[in-house]
Structures are given as C-alpha cells and as structure tokens.
C-alpha cells in the first residue's frame, strides 16, 4: 500500500516535471474553476479579474458541476476555485458535523493539506449556509428575529416547506432537536422556486433558504432569522488552491486574500441579487465589484 502510494507520487512528480519542462507554456496561466451556480460564478470571476490585474493570464474553467469540481482540482484540471468550508467538511471530507466556524476552517485546512495537497487560503466573512427567512412585516409585528423566537411563536406561523426540509437531518428534525418542537399553524409543500413569491404575496410566513439568496438583499420584505443556537454548520467561502501552484506563484495568496477580505454575507447577497433579481450578467457584476475594491 505504502509502496504503491509512493510510486504513484513519484510517477506523478515525474509526469509533472515533464509537462513543466517540455511544454513550458502556460506557466503563468492560472486555471480558475467554479461551480455551476450564480454565486460561485461571480466569485470565481472576481478571482480571475484580480489575478489578471496582477499580470497573470487566466483560463476560466467555470460552471463545473458541484459534485465533480473537487475531482477536477485534485486531477490538476483547474488550479483554484471558490469552495465552502461546510461543503469541504461534510461533503468532501465526509467528516462529522462541527458548527463552530473557526474550528471548521481549521479542520478543512489541515485535512485538505494532508489528504489532497490543497491549500485553503484565508476565509471570507461570507456565509452561504442554510437559513430560515421570515416576512419582515410579521417579524416586526411578533418580534421574531432568531430561530428561538420562531419556535416560541410557531403556532402563529404558516410554514412553506419544500418537502425534503421536513425530513432532512439538517431540516426540521435537526431544528427540533436543538430548538424544541415547532408546532406551525400550517405547513405546506411548495416548489422551491416559489418561496420568495409566497412570502411576498402573504401566502406563507417562513421558508427555508440559503443565507446569501439574492432576494434577501431586500430586507424590507425578508428577514433572515439568526441561528442563535448554531445548529447549522458554517459555509464560509474561501479559495482552494493547488499547493504546486502556490509554491510557484506565492503572490496568488495575497491577491486572493484581498478579495476574501472584501466579501461578507451582505456583500455577497447583494452581488447575487444583481444577477438573480436584476438579471444582470455575472461578469459585469464581478467586474464592477472588483473595480470598487482593487
């Protein structure tokens, strides 16, 4: 086992050395990947613009299915992409749930280095995790700002589910374990594309959502409830980079850390909103944002 592992490493190293010396070209070309949804596209595009500004040639390999993007970077098809700490912990490393954001970041950074020779650069303050959204009007009326408040007022709440949320371990069953029982006045299943419309039209009060969903930028209508007992794992966004690329181009870390420092949950939500709600092109939104922070 050990021998084969060593052999493969040697072979890989040899292959890499060959490709570097033989082909030579593309030495300063950084391949930026992304997953196949708005947020990942925007952030990857910002990474790309930041690298281009620093003089790198960037090859954009965007829109990779979320389930294969990790394989792509391990197989040396891309050099870096934006990943979520929670996804790294639960989906890639398949480790047990941890909810403390810093602990999650520390664990994934350590394990990625050990298992895949990948580096997690500094984490942004943008958390795209699971959340619950309430109509702002009702939140103000009943004073519901946290999930504990929601649990206390559940009997006055019409809940709009997507079905799976009622069954998933990190859905209602998980919430009830941490917060106690939710006796909603009513709970109906809807298509997830309708959730914000339902709240807007006063046909439901609370619905599950992701914490950087574009519509959440409109805080007059929607309020994100605080997960005050921290039941959901954090999904902070950070660049994952191949070690060999970092070794050769040390300044990539500084360039991307600057981007991460400028990203927090509200900023990312508003960037998503510009693409998903205002229907602008993600390249344009990314370029504008990069202009504002460079």
Name which of residues 245 to 264 contact another protein (CB under 8 A).
Answer: none
Q: How far is the CB of 269 from another protein (least distance, A)?
A: 24
DSSP string of 118-131, one letter each residue: EEE----B-B--EE
**130 dihedral zone (left: phi>0; alpha: psi -120 to 50; beta):** beta
Name which of residues 198 to 227 contact another protein (CB under 8 A).
Answer: 198, 201, 203-204
Q: How far is the CB of 65 from another protein (least distance, A)?
A: 15
Cα torsion 294, 128, 69, 14: sign: positive
Q: How far is the CB of 61 from another protein (least distance, A)?
A: 27
Distance, CA of 132 to CA of 129 (rounded, Å): 10
What distance lies between CA 39 and its chain's CA centroid?
Answer: 8
Q: Any idea which residue has 């990625």 for tokens?
A: 112
Residue 22, token pair as written in the block: 């033989």
- 167 near another protein, rule: CB under 8 A: yes
- 163 near another protein, rule: CB under 8 A: yes
Q: Any idea which residue has 């191949």 for tokens?
A: 242
- 189 near another protein, rule: CB under 8 A: yes
Q: Which is nearer to another protein, 26 or 163 (CB)?
A: 163
Q: Which of 102, 191, 254, 281: binder of another protein (CB under 8 A)?
A: 191
Q: Any idea which residue has 């009830």 for tokens?
A: 176
Q: How many binding residues for another protein (CB under 8 A)?
A: 17
Q: Which of 54, 95, 178, 194: binder of another protein (CB under 8 A)?
A: 194
Distance, CA of 199 to CA of 216 (rounded, Å): 12
**157 dihedral zone (left: phi>0; alpha: psi -120 to 50; beta):** beta
> How long is the chain?
294
Which range binds another protein by CB under 8 A, 39-47, 84-92, 128-136, 165-173?
A: 165-173
Q: Which of 188, 248, 281, 288: binder of another protein (CB under 8 A)?
A: 188
- 162 near another protein, rule: CB under 8 A: yes
Distance, CA of 11 to CA of 180 (rounded, Å): 55
- 145 near another protein, rule: CB under 8 A: no
Torsions phi, psi of 254, nearest 5? -65, -45
Q: Any idea which residue has 């050099």 for tokens?
A: 79
- 154 near another protein, rule: CB under 8 A: no
Site string for another protein, 104-143 (x = CB under 8 A): ----------------------------------------
Q: How far is the CB of 282 from another protein (least distance, A)?
A: 25
Q: Using CB under 8 A, list all residues that contact another protein.
A: 160, 162-164, 166-168, 188-191, 194, 197-198, 201, 203-204
């Amino acid at each position: 086992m050990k021998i084969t592992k060593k052999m493969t490493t040697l072979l890989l190293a040899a292959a890499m050395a060959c490709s570097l010396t033989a082909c030579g070209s593309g030495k300063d070309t950084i391949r930026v990947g992304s997953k196949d949804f708005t947020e990942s596209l925007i952030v990857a595009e910002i990474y790309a613009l930041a690298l281009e500004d620093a003089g790198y040639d960037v090859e954009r390999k965007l829109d990779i299915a979320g389930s294969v993007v990790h394989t792509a970077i391990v197989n040396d098809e891309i050099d870096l992409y934006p990943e979520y700490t929670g996804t790294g912990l639960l989906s890639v490393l398949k480790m047990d749930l941890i909810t403390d954001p810093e602990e999650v970041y520390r664990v994934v950074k350590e394990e990625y280095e050990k298992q895949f020779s990948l580096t997690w650069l500094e984490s942004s303050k943008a958390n795209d995790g699971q959340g619950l959204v309430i109509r702002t009007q009702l939140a103000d009326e009943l004073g519901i700002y946290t999930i504990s408040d929601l649990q206390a007022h559940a009997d006055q709440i019409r809940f709009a589910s997507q079905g799976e949320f009622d069954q998933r371990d990190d859905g209602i069953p998980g919430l009830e374990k941490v917060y106690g029982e939710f006796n909603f006045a009513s709970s109906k299943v809807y298509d997830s594309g309708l959730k914000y419309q339902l709240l807007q039209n006063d046909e439901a009060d609370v619905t599950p959502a992701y914490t950087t969903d574009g519509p959440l930028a409109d805080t007059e209508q929607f309020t994100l409830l605080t997960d005050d007992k921290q039941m959901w794992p954090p999904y902070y966004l950070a660049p994952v980079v191949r070690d060999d690329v970092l070794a050769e181009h040390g300044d990539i870390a500084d360039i991307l850390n600057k981007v991460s420092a400028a990203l927090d949950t509200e900023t990312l939500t508003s960037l998503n909103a510009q693409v998903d709600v205002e229907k602008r092109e993600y390249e344009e939104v990314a370029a504008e944002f990069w202009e504002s922070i460079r």
